[in-house]
Amino acid sequence: MTWDWSAVADFMPRFWEGVLVTLQILVLGSLMSFTLGLVWALGLRSGSRFVRWPVGLVTEFIRNTPLLVQLFFLFFVLPEWGVQFSALTTGTIAIGLHYSTYTAQVYRAGIEAVPAGQWEAATALSLPAHRTWTAVILPQAVRRIAPALGNYVIAMLKDTPLLAGISVLEMLQQSRLESAATFQYTEPLTVVGIAFILIAYPASLLVRTLERRLAR
């Protein structure tokens, strides 16, 4: 077996298309997971059991079922009920929804780590509930949980190849299509593997740097 640089050159147009799709999924999925995760966390802290219990049931169900099963359900089952999205939209929703249940627990831990004196001080100052959350609690909680959220972004990146199962043209799917057309598997798959390292490793270094700075 010899390494064929011409195969790498031929794969590059497909590769860059896959990189663009992968990053799009990662950015939109992260925004969705962070936003929805906060909603779940606030629901889990609700004083009403009619809010807390359904939220807990939904998040536990999503968190304890495989992402691939959820992908197939959203892509193949929902259209039978009249709900249909493109493969890219379905994959982004699935990965964002799945990881929102994990970020919810991170938010919850961060909120609970805020000292009780901060809540008491906000009450003593007669701050309204929304002001207590936005000005006192959440800024302190986010500072504590930012590194953990960053780790979930890296985990999402490594799970994007699962979206090839519903024909999303991310990096792995592009390499599979190229390999099927040329019968050269080594070069496309190697390039994709290196790309994941080149994206994930700097991101992990950034998370560590952020963790050290926030610890100060």
Give tens-digit pLDDT for 63-97.
999 999 999 999 999 999 988 899 999 999 999 99
Q: Look at residue 177 and tell me if it is in a domain.
A: no
Question: Mean pLDDT for the chain?
Answer: 89
Residue 21 maps to a domain? yes
Note the pLDDT of residue 137.
Answer: 83
Q: Distance of alpha carbon 4 from its chain centroid, rounded?
A: 35
Domain total of the chain: 1
Asked whether residue 93 is assigned to any structural domain, the reply reads yes
In order along its 216 residues, the chain shows pLDDT tens digits of 678 889 899 999 999 999 999 999 999 999 999 999 999 998 998 888 899 999 999 999 999 999 999 999 999 999 999 888 999 999 999 999 999 999 999 998 888 888 888 888 888 887 887 788 888 888 888 888 888 888 899 999 999 999 998 989 999 999 999 998 888 889 999 999 999 999 988 888 887 787 777 666
For residue 72, being part of any structural domain is answered with yes
Rounded to 5 degrees, what are φ and ψ at 86? -65, 165
Residue 157: what pLDDT?
93
What's the pLDDT at 96?
Answer: 96
Give residue 127's domain range: 16-171
The pTM of the full predicted model, rounded to 2 decimals, is 0.88
Please give the pLDDT value at position 215. 65
Q: What separation, in Å, do the N-terminal and C-terminal C-alpha atoms of the chain show?
A: 52
Q: Please tell me the predicted confidence (pLDDT) of residue 148.
A: 85
pLDDT value for 89: 95
The region that residue 3 occupies, defined by phi over 0 for left and psi between -120 and 50 for alpha, beta otherwise, is beta
CATH of the domain at 104: 1.10.3720.10
Q: Nearest-CA neighbor of 74 among 65, 66, 83?
A: 83
